[in-house]
Structure 1
Amino acid sequence: MPIGVGLVGLGMAIAPHMLSLRELERAGRVRIIGGHAPSPARREAFTARWGAPAFAELAALLEAPGLDLVFVLSPPGTHLPLAQEAIARGKHLLVEKPLELTAERGEALAAAAEAAGLRCGVCLQHRFRPAALRLKAALDSGRLGTPLSASASIRWWRDDAYFAQPGRGSMARDGGGVLLTQAIHTIDLLLHLMGPVRDVAGFAATSPLRKIDTEDIAAAALRFENGAIGVLDATTVARPGFPERIEIAGSRGSAVLVAHRLELHGADGAPPEVFGEEGSGGGGADPMAFDHGPHRALITEVLDAIEEGREPANSARSALAVQRLIEAVLADSSRRA
């Protein structure tokens, strides 16, 4: 039977999810029950664009016949209470990043789903990009040898229109700036590839370009538990915005991942293996200018996990590591201020 899906929060993040769900619906994997948002305008726009029902009340969606899985796509600070309502009705979850405003609240959300025996995935779709999957396989197979050095560079641009949205860039709405809101995908992928971080030295600042109370420039030096040394560089002040980049150097070779394109370099000096194509990633002024394929793969993983009775690879608990690292970077920066 198709898994019944409902969506809570019908703002900017809705498009890649609905594009993916429409394709999965045609394949017989899901049935779209409908969406909910407090805003009548957003409900009307959702129905007009996607031809799906919109529920004025959250309870009506959660109690709709056939609902199995709830996508929580609302602002981060609402994730825990919304998840708790869905869990109380026995619904599985897919939560937009970040899991919550803080790692502590994210832990509470993950624990609630686990205690109820329900699956909870998180939208960290960069793990599911084909080039990232190829790099992960290369590392796991030992092709690059022992990881020695790694870096992540997220030099993006967000314009005035982006920050003109109410609450955008504020601690109250977003819970953080470039690290938690934009760079989190690439930082999560770095951890997914390299493993946990042991030591952090961080710096963060707010530029004079916009009136926000969160950081839009950040950098950190990292020591991973495997002994490798790393560097993190993240900003949204780099016009016109550049593709995010991860580089890993190992004892037997190196990898350069630029958005959707991967180069694998061996120690023999032969021409690199190139996989994927060049793309802008999420670096430009339009944060939604990307292919929805990784979203579809991510959603498929959650559907498979529900059907197979296991935790998804992108589980809520797996998403706590990146949030804890971000908090460590900001905490260290505050100590140095």
Structure 2
Amino acid sequence: MSAAAPRLRVAVIGTGLAWAPHRDSLRDLSDRVEVRCFVGRTMERVAQQCAHFPGARATTSIEEVLEDRSLQAALVLTPPSTHLEIATRLAARGIHILLEKPLDVDVQRAETLVGACEGHGVTLAVVFQHRLRPAALRLRQLMDEGALGPLTNAAVDVRWWRPQSYYDAPGRGTKARDGGGVLLTQAIHTLDLFLHLAGPVVEVAALAATSKAHRMECEDVVTAAVRLQDGALATINATTAAFPGSADRIELSGTLGTATLVGGELTVCWLDGREEHAGAQAALGAGADPMAFSHELHRAVLNDFVRAVQTRSPPSASGRSALAVHRLIDALLLSAQSPNFVPLNS
């Protein structure tokens, strides 16, 4: 039996809203990962997190990470607008990166970030944990096998809820910090999984708005029609203005059956009368508490990242693969600004 691989030595950069599931994942995988350093805006905040990881040190300077030659990887959990600068500096130092979504605030910055990591030969994994849901893995297998037959149509629905207090936090829902609203911050997970399952989108027509439920800069309601590369048509609906919030839904219909993925549960109805089920429902953070979900999938992402770094193989959600959903979101928002609508006379 071969000896176990040494623990991956990591730094954690950012301990804000997204930190909790990563914290619990790092605890669970302490036999595979050693947290050496925390970086945050205030020493008080990062020092509190060090208490959970004996031996880790606290700092407010990323320079300490760059100067520590023992560090192999970093979890970057900071606001989107900071990702490009942090990731490019880490990559230049040869540090592998597990990056919270989105890659950055726009496609151009995202492409630059991915290019920098590839240029320096470091692993860049993105926290798209929905790809690792057991039900999603089963549906991906069915799609790879062509089991549903050619797709005829599809639908994506993300009907979530966020109270105004969520958007009252400084910078939230702004282009400067977050890069956008419901598409880039909430629906990005489901849209990424949709592309991962159904393949590329080649054409979009969209509407986007800020509803009367929120005071915010960016969109909280989007509806769109899209054409997939194989010619099938699909609809996309995304909002954070649907109280009380419900599980995200992807439905793929083919010539041999229909697969419906609701949250973590898959149902496949076959044309010949068979029915298949996989996965199970779980709390998903679709309502007022954005962190009301298990850290199980974040643990799977972290475990996959460690595997990718140690074996020098691709992660389940690479930076390059994550660019597809950024391009889709960019196209949806660009389409929503188009004046090409057909009026109906009453």
**What TM-score, normalized to structure 2?**
0.93
Residue correspondence of structure 1 range 266-305 to structure 2 within 5 A: 266-270=270-274, 272-305=275-308
Residue of structure 2 in register with 1:17 after alignment: 22
Larger deviation, residues 154-163 vs 63-72: 63-72
Q: Is the 8 A contact 2:210 2:219 kept in 1?
A: yes
Residue of structure 2 in register with 1:308 after alignment: 311
Partners of 1:305 and 1:50 in 2: CA distance: 23
- 2:295 alignment partner AA: H
Residue of structure 2 in register with 1:3 after alignment: 8
Residue correspondence of structure 1 range 1-337 to structure 2 within 5 A: 1-25=6-30, 28-48=31-51, 52-270=56-274, 272-336=275-339
- 1:316 alignment partner AA: G
User: How big is the shift at 1:290?
Assistant: 1.1
Larger deviation, residues 152-161 vs 40-49: 40-49
Q: Is the 8 A contact 2:164 2:215 kept in 1?
A: no
Larger deviation, residues 97-106 vs 292-301: 292-301
Q: Which has the higher helix share?
A: 1
User: How big is the shift at 1:207?
Assistant: 1.1
Q: 1:4 to 1:10 in 2, by over 3 A?
A: same
Partners of 2:140 and 2:339 in 1: CA distance: 35
Partners of 2:316 and 2:129 in 1: CA distance: 11
Q: Is the 8 A contact 1:33 1:64 kept in 2?
A: no
Partners of 1:5 and 1:265 in 2: CA distance: 44
- In the TM superposition, structure 1's runs of 4+ consecutive aligned residues that sit over 4 Å from their partners are 48-52
Question: Secondary structure of the equivalent of 2:338?
Answer: helix
- 1:105 alignment partner AA: R
Question: Secondary structure of the equivalent of 1:335?
Answer: coil
User: How big is the shift at 1:191?
Assistant: 0.3
Q: Is the 8 A contact 2:129 2:301 kept in 1?
A: yes
Partners of 2:219 and 2:17 in 1: CA distance: 21
User: How big is the shift at 1:65?
Assistant: 4.9
User: How big is the shift at 1:141?
Assistant: 1.6
Identity, % of aligned positions:
45
User: How big is the shift at 1:62?
Assistant: 3.0
Deviations 1:239-273 (CA, angstroms, capped at 9, x unpaired): 00111001010111111111011101111123x21
Partners of 2:217 and 2:339 in 1: CA distance: 18
Q: Which runs of 5+ in 1 are unaligned?
A: none
Q: Which runs of 5+ in 2 are unaligned?
A: 1-5, 341-346
Question: Secondary structure of the equivalent of 2:138?
Answer: helix
Q: Is the 8 A contact 1:11 1:42 kept in 2?
A: no
User: How big is the shift at 1:214?
Assistant: 0.1
Deviations 1:79-113 (CA, angstroms, capped at 9, x unpaired): 01001111121101111100011111111111111
Partners of 2:102 and 2:156 in 1: CA distance: 18
Question: Secondary structure of the equivalent of 1:174?
Answer: coil
Partners of 1:117 and 1:206 in 2: CA distance: 41
Aligned residue pair count = 334
Larger deviation, residues 101-110 vs 158-167: 158-167
Partners of 1:154 and 1:331 in 2: CA distance: 20
Q: Is the 8 A contact 1:170 1:212 kept in 2?
A: yes
Partners of 1:92 and 1:200 in 2: CA distance: 35
Larger deviation, residues 138-147 vs 37-46: 37-46
Partners of 1:3 and 1:50 in 2: CA distance: 14
Deviations 1:144-175 (CA, angstroms, capped at 9, x unpaired): 11122111100000012211211111111111
Question: Secondary structure of the equivalent of 1:35?
Answer: strand
**What TM-score, normalized to structure 1?**
0.95
Q: Is the 8 A contact 1:55 1:61 kept in 2?
A: no
Q: Is the 8 A contact 2:283 2:294 kept in 1?
A: no
Deviations 1:118-162 (CA, angstroms, capped at 9, x unpaired): 110111111011111111111112221112211110000001221
Partners of 1:123 and 1:278 in 2: CA distance: 20
